[in-house]
C-alpha cells in the first residue's frame, strides 16, 4: 500500500472516529442531563426544547394559577351547587404532569431524541389532587342547602312498651363517597368544571301496621369506661341519635345520616384520639364504638352490608375485622334492609354497657349466624422514646401502650336450624397498622442549689475590764443556720434553710382514655377516625 493510500485511510478513520465521538458526546449529554427536554417538545403551545424540569414546572404553574379561582359546579336533578376550586380543596399536581411528559419523551430513546427534531405537542392534562377535609365540609354545606333532604322515620317506645311511629320526610339522599369518586381527575384548561352530585330521591314512608309482631333479628353489646367522661358523653349522644331509627323495606340505612354531624353545636366534646402516634384531643372520639356495635348487630341479623371501613389501628372493644369506623361525610356505615318489613333500631346503655338491638318481622326459616376470623399476619410495635423538656431529667411517662398490627380476613357463616351450612361469606380483608408505644423521657435539668454565703471575718475587741476572757457569744453574729452540736465538736452545724428551688409543672397524668378501648387515630394519610 502506498503512503498516499495509507494517509487517506488514516484521515478517513480520524473523521469517522470524530463523528462517532461527537455523536457519543452529544448522546451522553442527553443521558447525563436527563432533566432537559429534547428539541421539538411543546406543551400547551410552549416550546420546552432545552429547558429543565424545574423551568417547565414554573412555566406551567404560571399558566395554571387561575385554577384556584375557577368554578366547580355540582349538579343533580333540579339542583346545582357551585364553589371555587380552591375552596373545594382542589390543587393541580404540576410537577407530576411535567414528570409524565418527560417520561413520554424518555420512551422515544436517546437515538430518536438526537435525530428526530420534529415538533411533538402535548396538551394540558394536569392531575388534580383534593383535600379531603375541605371536600367533606363542602358536602356538609351541600346537604345543608338542600330544600328537601331526606329525614328517616323513627319510632318511640311509650310507657307500655308500644311503638309510636314518627314519620320521616321523603327527599334527596347524597352519596358523598360516590360523588368524590366522580370528581374529575385531570384539568385540561377549562374555565368551568362540572361534576355529578350523586344523589337519589328517596321515599321513606312506613306503614304503621307493618310495625306489629316484631322480633329481634340481631343484637350485640360492647363495654366502655364511664370514667372517661367526654368519650362516654359522645358515645351516649350518638347512641341516642341512633335509637328508634327505622329502615323501610328495600332501603339503605346510613349511620351518618341517622346520627348527623359531629360538632360542638350538637353537643359533642373533645376526646383523646391518636394522631401521628400520639394522643391528641379530637371532637367525636367514641362514636366509632356505636357504629361498630351496630355493625356486629347487622352481621348477626344476616343483613347485607353496603359500606364499612376498618380502623387504621386495632381497637379493644370489638375483635379485629369486626369494627366499623365512621367520619361524617366521608366514611359511613351502610346496610340494606332486604326483608319485606321495616327494621327498627334500639340502643340501650346500662352503666358501661352499650347494646344495639334490631327488630323486624321474621322472613323465611330461622338461621344461625357465626362470625369467623382468620388472622394471617401480625406486626409487632416498636417503643418510641421522646424527650420532654417539661419533665425532670431521668423521669419517664408512658403516653400510651403499643398495639400490634394485624392482617385479618372476616367471614359470616350461616347455618340452618339443623346446623347445615348455608353460606360462608367473605366480609372483609383488613389491614391494621401497629401503634408504637410512646414513652416520654424527662430532659429538664435541676436548678443549681445556692451556696452558703461567704461572710467576711470580723475582729472582736477584747473586754477592757477582763482582757483574759472570751467575748460573750451572744454578741457574735452567727452564720445563718443552726448552731454546732456542743456534744459533738466535729459537728459544724447544718446547712442553712434555703428557700426551695422552684418546681416545674406537675407531671401530666395523661388522658383518661377508655381502659377497655383504645381511642382511634386521624391519619394525616388516613381517615380521621372518630373511634
Res. 83 pLDDT band, cuts 50 70 90: very high
Distance, in Å, from the CA atom of 319 to the CA atom of 301, rounded to the nearest integer, reads: 18
The stretch 401-407 carries a mean pLDDT of 92
**Sign of the C-alpha dihedral computed for residues 29, 30, 34 and 37 taken in this order:** positive
Quickly list DSSP for 243-268. TTBEE-TT-EEEHHHHH----GGGT-
| Average pLDDT of the segment spanning 319-325 | 95
Range in 163-167, 275-279, 288-292 the model is least confident about:
275-279
Q: What per-residue confidence (pLDDT) applies to 501?
A: 36
Mean pLDDT of 304-308: 95
Read off the pLDDT of residues 381-399 as tens digits, 9 standing for 90 and up. 999 999 999 999 989 999 8
Q: Rounded CA gap, 125 and 94, in Å?
A: 9
Which tens digits make up the pLDDT trace of 224-280?
999 999 999 999 999 999 999 999 998 999 999 899 888 888 889 988 776 665 667
Q: What is the CA radius of gyration of the chain?
A: 38
Q: What is the Cα–Cα distance from 408 to 322, expressed in whole angstroms? A: 10
Tell me what pLDDT residue 504 has. 37
Which tens digits make up the pLDDT trace of 443-460? 998 887 766 555 555 554
Q: Is residue 427 over pLDDT 60?
A: yes
Distances (CA, A) of 317 to 221, 291, 357, 428: 9, 12, 17, 18
Q: What is the mean pLDDT of residues 326-352?
A: 91
Strand partners, 171: 202
Strand partners, 421: 415
| Percent share of the chain, pLDDT over 70 | 75
Would the pLDDT of 222 be above 90? yes
Taking the C-alpha atoms of residue 472 and residue 477, their distance in angstroms, rounded to an integer, is 11
- Between 458 and 205, whose confidence is greater? 205
Q: What is the CA 72 to chain-centroid distance, rounded? A: 26
Rounded average pLDDT over 29-44: 71
Rounded average pLDDT over 321-339:
91
Q: Lowest mean pLDDT: which of 5-19, 176-190, 263-277, 335-349?
A: 5-19
pTM of the predicted structure, to 2 decimals = 0.67
**What would the DSSP string read from start to end of 449-494?**
PPPPP-PPP-PPPPPTT-TTSPPPGGGSPPPSSPPPPTT-TT---P
DSSP class of 37: P
Question: In this structure, what C-alpha cell is assigned to residue 70?
Answer: 375557577
Q: Give me the pLDDT at residue 503, please.
A: 39
- What confidence score (pLDDT) does residue 359 get? 95
Query: Between the CA of residue 99 and those of 59, 116, 117, 125, 209, what are the distances in Å?
Result: 14, 21, 20, 12, 64
Mean pLDDT of 498-502: 37
CB count in 10 Å sphere of residue 164 = 12
Question: Do residues 242 and 259 lie in contact, with contact meaning Cβ atoms separated by under 8 Å?
Answer: yes
**Does the structure show a pLDDT above 60 at 481?**
no
pLDDT value, residue 211: 87
CA angle 168, 336, 520 (to 5 degrees): 95
Task: Work out the angle between the directed axes of helices 53-64 and 94-106 (0-180°, nearest 10).
Answer: 130
Q: Which residues of 332-358 are buried (b: 16+ CB within 10 A; e: fewer)?
A: bbbbbbebebbbbbbbebeebebbbbb
Burial class (CB in 10 A: 0-12, 13-18, 19+), 57: middle
Q: Which of 112-116, 247-251, 496-500 is the least confident region?
A: 496-500
In this prediction, residues 206-229 reach a mean pLDDT of 91
| Residue 242 CB-half CA count within 13 A | 30
What is the Cα–Cα distance from 43 to 164, expressed in whole angstroms?
A: 67
Q: Which residue has the cell 344523589?
A: 199
> 397 φ, ψ to 5°?
-140, 125
Would strands 383-392 and 437-444 be described as parallel, antiparallel, or unpaired?
A: parallel
Looking at residue 212, the DSSP 8-state letter turns out to be S
Query: What is the reported pLDDT for 40?
Result: 87
**Rounded Cα distance, 477 and 531, in Å:** 70
**Cα–Cα nearest to 96, from 62, 52, 127:** 127
CB-based burial, 26-49: b 16+ in 10 Å, e otherwise? eeeeeeeeeebbbbbbebbeeebe
Cβ atoms of 288 and 315 closer than 8 Å: yes
Which residues have CB under 8 Å from 53's CB, separation 6+?
Answer: 35, 95, 98, 99, 102
Residue of 308 and 463 predicted with greater confidence: 308
Question: Which pLDDT band holds residue 522 (cuts at 50, 70, 90)?
Answer: very low
Q: What is the mean pLDDT of residues 355-380?
A: 92
Output the furthest CA–CA distance in the chain (Å, rounded).
140
Question: Is residue 221's pLDDT more than 90?
Answer: yes
* Pairing of β 41-43 and β 120-122: parallel
CB 301 within 8 A of CB 312: no
Amino acid at each position: 500500500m502506498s503512503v498516499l493510500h495509507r494517509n487517506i485511510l488514516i484521515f478517513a478513520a480520524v473523521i469517522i472516529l470524530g463523528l462517532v465521538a461527537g455523536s457519543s458526546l452529544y448522546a451522553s449529554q442527553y443521558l447525563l442531563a436527563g432533566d432537559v427536554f429534547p428539541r421539538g417538545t411543546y406543551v400547551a403551545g410552549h416550546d420546552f426544547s432545552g429547558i429543565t424540569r424545574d423551568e417547565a414546572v414554573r412555566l406551567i404553574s404560571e399558566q395554571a394559577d387561575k385554577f384556584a379561582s375557577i368554578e366547580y359546579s355540582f349538579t343533580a336533578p333540579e339542583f346545582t351547587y357551585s364553589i371555587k376550586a380552591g375552596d373545594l380543596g382542589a390543587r393541580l399536581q404540576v410537577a407530576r404532569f411535567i414528570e409524565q411528559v418527560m417520561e413520554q419523551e424518555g420512551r422515544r430513546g436517546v437515538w430518536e431524541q438526537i435525530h428526530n427534531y420534529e415538533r411533538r405537542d402535548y396538551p394540558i392534562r394536569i392531575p388534580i389532587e383534593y383535600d379531603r377535609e375541605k371536600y367533606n365540609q363542602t358536602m356538609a354545606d351541600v346537604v345543608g342547602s338542600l330544600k328537601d333532604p331526606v329525614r328517616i322515620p323513627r319510632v318511640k317506645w311509650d310507657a307500655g312498651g308500644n311503638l309510636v311511629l314518627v314519620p320521616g320526610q321523603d327527599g334527596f339522599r347524597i352519596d358523598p363517597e360516590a360523588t368524590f369518586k366522580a370528581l374529575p381527575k385531570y384539568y385540561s384548561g377549562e374555565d368551568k368544571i362540572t361534576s355529578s352530585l350523586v344523589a337519589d330521591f328517596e321515599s321513606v314512608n312506613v306503614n304503621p301496621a307493618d310495625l306489629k309482631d316484631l322480633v329481634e333479628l340481631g343484637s350485640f353489646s360492647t363495654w366502655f369506661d364511664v370514667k372517661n367522661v367526654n368519650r362516654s358523653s359522645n358515645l351516649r349522644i350518638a347512641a341516642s341519635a341512633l335509637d328508634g331509627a327505622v329502615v323501610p323495606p328495600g332501603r339503605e340505612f346510613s349511620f351518618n345520616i341517622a346520627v348527623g354531624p359531629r360538632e360542638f353545636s350538637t353537643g359533642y366534646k373533645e376526646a383523646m384520639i391518636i394522631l401521628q402516634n400520639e394522643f391528641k384531643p379530637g371532637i367525636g372520639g367514641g362514636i366509632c364504638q356505636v357504629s361498630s356495635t351496630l355493625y356486629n348487630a347487622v352481621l348477626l341479623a344476616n343483613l347485607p352490608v353496603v359500606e364499612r371501613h376498618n380502623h387504621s389501628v386495632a381497637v379493644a372493644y370489638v375483635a379485629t375485622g369486626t369494627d366499623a369506623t365512621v367520619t361524617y361525610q366521608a366514611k359511613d356505615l351502610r346496610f340494606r334492609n332486604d326483608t319485606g318489613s321495616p327494621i327498627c333500631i334500639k340502643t340501650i346503655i346500662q352503666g358501661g354497657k352499650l347494646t344495639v338491638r334490631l327488630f323486624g318481622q321474621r322472613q323465611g326459616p330461622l338461621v344461625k349466624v357465626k362470625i369467623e376470623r382468620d388472622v394471617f399476619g401480625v406486626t409487632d410495635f416498636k417503643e418510641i422514646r421522646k424527650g420532654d423538656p417539661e419533665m425532670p431529667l431521668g423521669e419517664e411517662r408512658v403516653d400510651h401502650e403499643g398495639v400490634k398490627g394485624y392482617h385479618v380476613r372476616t367471614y359470616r357463616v350461616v347455618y340452618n336450624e339443623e346446623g347445615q351450612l348455608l353460606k360462608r361469606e367473605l366480609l372483609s380483608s383488613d389491614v391494621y397498622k401497629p401503634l408504637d408505644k410512646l414513652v416520654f423521657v424527662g430532659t429538664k435539668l435541676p436548678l443549681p442549689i445556692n451556696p452558703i454565703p461567704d461572710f467576711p471575718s470580723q475582729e472582736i475587741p477584747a473586754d477592757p475590764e477582763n482582757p483574759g476572757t472570751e467575748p460573750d457569744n451572744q454578741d457574735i453574729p452567727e452564720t445563718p443556720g443552726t448552731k454546732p452540736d456542743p456534744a459533738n465538736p466535729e459537728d459544724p452545724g447544718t446547712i442553712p434553710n434555703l428557700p426551695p428551688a422552684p418546681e416545674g409543672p406537675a407531671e401530666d397524668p395523661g388522658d383518661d382514655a377508655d381502659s377497655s378501648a383504645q381511642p382511634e387515630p386521624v391519619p394525616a394519610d388516613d381517615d380521621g377516625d372518630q373511634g
